[in-house]
Amino acid sequence: MRRLLPTIVLALIPAVLPAQQSERPPGYVFSVTVSSAQQLEVVLNRAEDLRELFNPDEHSRVAIVLHGNELQLFHKDNYAMHSTVVERARQLDRDNIIDIKACQTMMRVLDIDAHELPNFIEQVPFAPAEIDRLEREHGFTRL
């Protein structure tokens, strides 16, 4: 039996490893409340810099949770004025560098309807709860 145990353990390793490799490692979450396109650009730059520090195959995405006046930058009526930052955010999302999330509670405060934000922005009920969920359930690090 003693000789058989190492053989059984070695036989089980391939069955265990693929499951571990398929799980995405933790990422980072930014809690964002800024008031200008320039300040949002700084956040996008920081997220992009973080992604350059690690291999995307080894780390999860960077989540940016918007829950302040910056949501107005993404409002469809303001697109012409802020198209540069919106398109940059869209491209970073498309390239799997960031996930942008919008707080629906703050959207109500700012009188922004769900259909008035770009489709690439995921809407979440309450920003602090989403940030806590990402930390607790997915091991994200809050920045």
Whether 10 is covered by a domain: the verdict is: no
* pLDDT greater than 60 at residue 17: no
70 and 39 in contact (C-beta within 8 Å)? yes
The whole-chain average pLDDT of the chain stands at: 83
Q: Residue 96 has what pLDDT?
A: 83
Whether 15 is covered by a domain: the verdict is: no
Whether 4 is covered by a domain: the verdict is: no
Whether 19 is covered by a domain: the verdict is: no
Sheet containing strand 141-142, edge to edge, reads: 122-124, 98-103, 62-66, 28-32, 141-142
Give mean pLDDT, residues 58-73: 88
Domain count, the chain: 1
CATH number at residue 127: 3.40.1260.10
Whether 18 is covered by a domain: the verdict is: no
Q: Residue 6 has what pLDDT?
A: 40
Whether 2 is covered by a domain: the verdict is: no
CA distance 14 to 107: 47
Q: Which of 14-23, 27-36, 68-77 has the lowest mean pLDDT?
A: 14-23
Q: Among all chains, which residue has been given the structure tokens 């960077």?
A: 62
Whether 3 is covered by a domain: the verdict is: no
Which tens digit of pLDDT belongs to each residue from 91-105? 999 988 899 999 999
For residue 85, what are the domain limits? Answer: 25-142
Whether 38 is covered by a domain: the verdict is: yes
